[in-house]
Amino acid sequence: MKRAWKWLGMSVTAVSLAFMAACGGSEETSQSQTGSSEVEASDGIDRTDWPEKFVYGILPTEDQGELTRQFEPMIEYMENRLGIEFELFVGNDYNALIEAMRNGHLHASGFGPFSYMLAHDRANAEAFAMGVEDEDSATYHSTFITLEDSGIESLDDLEGTTIAYADPASASGHIFPKGMVINHLGLTMDTVDDHFEYVTFSGSHEASLYSILNGDVLVAGVCDVCIERVYERVEDHPKFDKLKVIAESEPIPRGPQAINMDLPESLREAVITAFHEMKDDPNAKEFLEESGYSDYMPADDSMYDVIRETAEALEMSAEDLLQ
């Protein structure tokens, strides 16, 4: 896999935030992308208490056609493993995914670390897997990016500038970068937004990246691996080679795959096993690689206690973030 940070040939200012390690509501929208609806299984599993279809949540990207193509191998693999229809639910943000799970319309989803904490509290979600490139990549970083000609060299230069965050419940796209600014500049939650001329939420890390490339804002908080995943889609942008990183966070635990614990235990076990064995299926392995992973390693709720501690330290409640 190409490593997107190879094109950022500049020095990165590492910003230490000792007490933090934290990624990544509004109106709910959804689209369904569905594979085969007639799937039969002969594995002897009793499916009488299973739903007719399993619904898995994802966030949108700039290219919905590309999103559908990317997930086709996963849909086929999961339908073959579960023996029931597997459907994608595209929520417009993390809050849409959390609310859909809370209301029983969504059975599992990938979350950012902070949004997982909210999903655990509000929707009875439980972490079970984490997508990784290798066994040493269970963490990632939040970065501040800008263009070389922006005149911004460090967090000290942010006053009066314009900034894009990804999603209110995104750790690396909002919580962590906002905490970095607060900690570095001695601001508070009440004053940090006033430090900027304009603050916006783009909806995703990719959208924040385009906000920089297209000149909509001067700086954005994004995760490093998120840019790596969309590298091939953005590398031809005329300003792509002008991107630079001005600050980087301490390591953040990657967001998990989480499943609704209200589901029958036999279904939960089948889904969890299917994720952990995805690397062994040739077609599903293609999906993993395109998503920037080589495997789904086991994960559990305790891994995200540091996110809860971060939110508490920043006095960021679920209610505040999801308004």
* Alpha helices, DSSP H, located in 248-316: 265-276, 282-290, 305-313
**133 within 8 A of 289, measured Cβ to Cβ:** no
Taking all residues of the chain, what is their mean pLDDT, rounded to a whole number?
84
Dump pLDDT digits (tens) for 85-99.
999 999 988 899 999
Q: With 70 as the cut, is the pLDDT of residue 6 above it?
A: no
Q: What percent of the chain has pLDDT over 70?
A: 84
For the domain spanning 32-136+254-304, the CATH number is 3.40.190.10
Do the first three CATH levels of 4-24+139-253 and 32-136+254-304 match, i.e. the same topology?
Answer: yes
Please state the CATH superfamily assignment of the domain spanning residues 4-24+139-253 in this structure: Periplasmic binding protein-like II (3.40.190.10)
C-alpha dist (Å) from residue 191 to 21, 194, 315: 22, 5, 13
Residue type, 90: V
Nearest residue to 113 (alpha-carbon basis) of 306, 274, 290: 306
Q: With 60 as the cut, is the pLDDT of residue 307 above it?
A: yes
Query: Domain ranges in the chain?
Result: 4-24+139-253, 32-136+254-304
Nearest residue to 177 (alpha-carbon basis) of 209, 225, 212, 142: 142
Query: What does the pLDDT read at residue 131?
Result: 93
Residue 114: its H or E element: helix 113-123
